[in-house]
Structure formats: structure tokens, C-alpha cells
């Protein structure tokens, strides 16, 4: 910033100097032309007139040479100041870009669960608010699912928290890979995940999530000192209806999840429907 201010001040000073130089040249030219006119008007000797005019023309030439030299010096100063300003602008542009990238990355990290690399609860709240607003505006189907890893506490107790973390990462990866790009999945907390399925009626959501359920069951998690581990998940699904808000829909989906757990786990239950066998 100090270099930029100095360059601006230097360039501004050059402008004032050029203005003063031009005024000075004008004064010399006016004086010389006036003197030539006077000499011509009062001359009585041709040789003397030629001498006087020659002196005046030489003075004009000297003034022009001096003016040109000053202009060249000032132009060089202005060009240097312009280069300094341009370089500083590029530096500031690069610094601004780096700062913006850092802010974007910090925001991404603030909205990401560090273990599973899924969006976290704060990110879910923002997405849920946007989807809810879209639903209210257009009335298009919107389903919400709550997913829970079955018997996860037993996994931690038997194999340790490192294996539990590996299970969470594997399930998160399976959810991310098995769902559509338009769906949104976030880690809600512990072994629980929440999924938003826009443009999806409950029965469609149930079918899609049943495919995810089977993909999770087929997955294997490597365990140190033990055979590869498989886990299952249960889903509770609810859809937005007239006059609904996100909290009410979540409560219904959570109730459906509780029903799925009570019916034997490893299944998808839509709120208001009877429990069904997995698959």
C-alpha cells in the first residue's frame, strides 16, 4: 500500500510538473514572438533585423529543447509509476484471490464432518431450509430419511472405536456413492445420517433407499486381527405435506426409523406404513 501511495503521489507530481513546464514554454514563446513582431515593426536595418530574429528563434529552440527534455524525464517517471501501480494491482489481485480461496476452504471445512467427509449438521440445516423453501414455492415432492447403523454400539464395544470409525467412513462412502447427485446426505451425529431426496415421493424414496440398504449390507470393513466386518442400516422416511415444516417431517421420519428398529432392523419404513421384511 505504501508503494502504491508513493506511485500515485509521484504520478500526481509529474502531472503538476508537466503543467508548469507547459505554462513556462507558453510564456517563452509568447515573449519571443512578441519581441520578433516588435523587431520587425521597428527595424531599420535588414542585417540587424536578421540578427535579432535569429537570436529570438534560437531562444525558442532552446526553450523547446528544454521542454522536450523535461517531458521525456516526466514521461519516464510516469511510466515507472504506472508499472509500479500495475504490479501492485496484480499483487493485490493475487492476494485477494488467495484470501477468497482460503475463506471458501474454511467455509467448506466448517460445513464438513471431518471423519466421514460428508456435510455436517450445520450444512444439513442450510440445505434443509433451501429445500423446504423450494417445496413451499413449487409444491414438488420432497422426502426426508433418517438412517442409523444397526447395533453400532456393539461394534465399538467388540472391535474398538478405530473399527467403529472405519464403519462410519464405509457407510458414509456407500451412501454417497449409491444416492443420486441431486440427493443430499449429511452426518447428523453419532451413527445417524439424514438424507434429503428432492422430487421424490415416499414410495420412490423407499425403493431408492432399499437399494442403498442392500449396498451397505454387501460392504465389508477390514478389522485388525479379525475377519472383515459387515453391518446393516435402517431407514425411516417421511415426506413433506401441506403446512409441514422440517421439524415435523424429521419427527415423523425418526418415528419411522424407530419402527424399523423395532421390526428387526435392516429395513426401510415409510412413516404411516406397516413394517415390511427387508428386501
Angle of helix 152-159 relative to helix 161-178, nearest 10 degrees, comes to 140
Which of these, 47, 46, 49, lies nearest to 57 by C-alpha position? 49
pLDDT value at residue 8: 45
Residues 263 and 269: beta-carbon distance below 8 Å: yes
**How far apart are the C-alpha atoms of 85 and 112, rounded to whole Å?**
40
Residues recognised as catalytic: 191
Residue 87 pLDDT: 86
Tens place of pLDDT for every residue, the chain, 279 residues?
455 445 545 555 556 666 666 677 677 777 777 777 776 777 677 777 777 777 877 877 787 778 778 878 878 887 888 888 888 888 888 888 888 887 777 777 789 999 999 999 999 999 999 999 999 999 999 999 999 999 999 999 999 999 999 999 999 999 999 999 999 999 999 999 999 999 999 999 999 999 999 999 999 998 877 788 999 999 999 999 988 999 999 999 999 999 999 999 999 999 987 654 454
Give the Å distances, CA to CA, from 255 to 38, 145, 197, 252. 110, 11, 18, 5
**CA distances to 127, 194, 199, 240 from 134, in Å:** 11, 18, 10, 11
* Largest Cα span, the chain: 130
Instruction: Report pTM.
Output: 0.66
| H-only helix segments in the chain | 2-42, 46-110, 121-138, 152-159, 161-178, 202-218, 246-262
Asked whether the beta carbons of 20 and 27 are under 8 A apart, the reply is no
Pairwise CA distance, residues 245 & 221, whole Å: 37
Amino acid at each position: 500500500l505504501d508503494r502504491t501511495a508513493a506511485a500515485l503521489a509521484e504520478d500526481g507530481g509529474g502531472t503538476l510538473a508537466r503543467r508548469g513546464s507547459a505554462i513556462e514554454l507558453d510564456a517563452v514563446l509568447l515573449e519571443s514572438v512578441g519581441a520578433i513582431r516588435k523587431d520587425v515593426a521597428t527595424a531599420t536595418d535588414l542585417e540587424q533585423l536578421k540578427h535579432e530574429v535569429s537570436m529570438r528563434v534560437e531562444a525558442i529552440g532552446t526553450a523547446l529543447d528544454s521542454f522536450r527534455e523535461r517531458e521525456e524525464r516526466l514521461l519516464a517517471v510516469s511510466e515507472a509509476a504506472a508499472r509500479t501501480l500495475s504490479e501492485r494491482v496484480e499483487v493485490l489481485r493475487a492476494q485477494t484471490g488467495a484470501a477468497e480461496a482460503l475463506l471458501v476452504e474454511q467455509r467448506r471445512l466448517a460445513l464438513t464432518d471431518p471423519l466421514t467427509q460428508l456435510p455436517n449438521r450445520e450444512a444439513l440445516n442450510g440445505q434443509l431450509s433451501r429445500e423446504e423453501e423450494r417445496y413451499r414455492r413449487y409444491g414438488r415432492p420432497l422426502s426426508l430419511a433418517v438412517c442409523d447403523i444397526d447395533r453400532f454400539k456393539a461394534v465399538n464395544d467388540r472391535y474398538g472405536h478405530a473399527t467403529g470409525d472405519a464403519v462410519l467412513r464405509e457407510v458414509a462412502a456407500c451412501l454417497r456413492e449409491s444416492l443420486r447427485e441431486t440427493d443430499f446426505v449429511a452426518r447428523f451425529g453419532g451413527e445417524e445420517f439424514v438424507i434429503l431426496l428432492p422430487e421424490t415421493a415416499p414410495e420412490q424414496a423407499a425403493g431408492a433407499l432399499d437399494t442403498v440398504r442392500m449396498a451397505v449390507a454387501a460392504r465389508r470393513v477390514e478389522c485388525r486381527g479379525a475377519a472383515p466386518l459387515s453391518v446393516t442400516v435402517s431407514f425411516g422416511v417421511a415426506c413433506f405435506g401441506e403446512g409441514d415444516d422440517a421439524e415435523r417431517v424429521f419427527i415423523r421420519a425418526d418415528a419411522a426409523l424407530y419402527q424399523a428398529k423395532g421390526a428387526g432392523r435392516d429395513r426401510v419404513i415409510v412413516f404411516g406404513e406397516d413394517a415390511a421384511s427387508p428386501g
